[in-house]
Homo-oligomer: A and B are copies of this chain.
Amino acid sequence: MTLKTHNHKDELRDVALKATPARMAILDFLEKEHRPVDVPALLSYLTKSDIDIDQATVYRILDKFYKGNIIKRLEFQEGKFRYEITHTDDHHHLICEQCGAIEDISDCGIEVLEKEINKKKKFLVKRHSLEFFGVCAVCQR
């Protein structure tokens, strides 16, 4: 069992955001889901949880969370964004193009590459996106 030093309220206070029911529910959902979620999924969860919320509000909340570095914003070549809780480790995703399964992968050793880029190209890397698309183990059978 891990020691939880922060709850959602603290998390929000840390970035000067008020702890509203909608925000708490969104954090709950993002934490519960073990994959990056899109806005439709978020909305349908909120509706099912009897939280009546407008999509505009959801986008505004996600924007605040993103800017406060509480969540990450990802693109899986779908023409829309997905969001996931910011974790301490730098991980990426394996996206199965057949069933849509999303696996995590860590330790891609990309920091080395970033340093090299900085040295060779004088480009200061702030963040990167790295996703793999293919066929998962189950779909290969």
- A positions within 8 Å CB-CB of B: 73, 75, 77, 79-81, 94, 96-97, 103, 105, 108-109, 113-114, 117, 121-137, 140
Within the complex, what minimum Cβ distance (angstroms) separates A62 from chain B? 13
Complex contacts, A125 vs chain B, CB 8 Å: 94, 132-134
16 interchain pairs, CB-CB under 8 A: A75-B129, A97-B126, A103-B123, A105-B117, A123-B132, A123-B134, A123-B135, A124-B134, A125-B132, A125-B133, A127-B134, A128-B133, A129-B129, A129-B131, A129-B133, A130-B130
**Copies of this chain, tallied across the complex:** 2
Chain B residues lying within 8 Å of A103, measured Cβ to Cβ, are: 121, 123
- Taken together as a complex, chains A and B put the C-alpha atoms of A105 and B122 apart, in Å, by 12
Bound: A75/B109 CA distance, A: 22
Q: Whole-angstrom distance from the CB of A8 to the nearest CB of chain B?
A: 26
Given A75-B77, A77-B73, A129-B77, do A137 and B122 touch, yes or no (CB 8 Å)?
yes
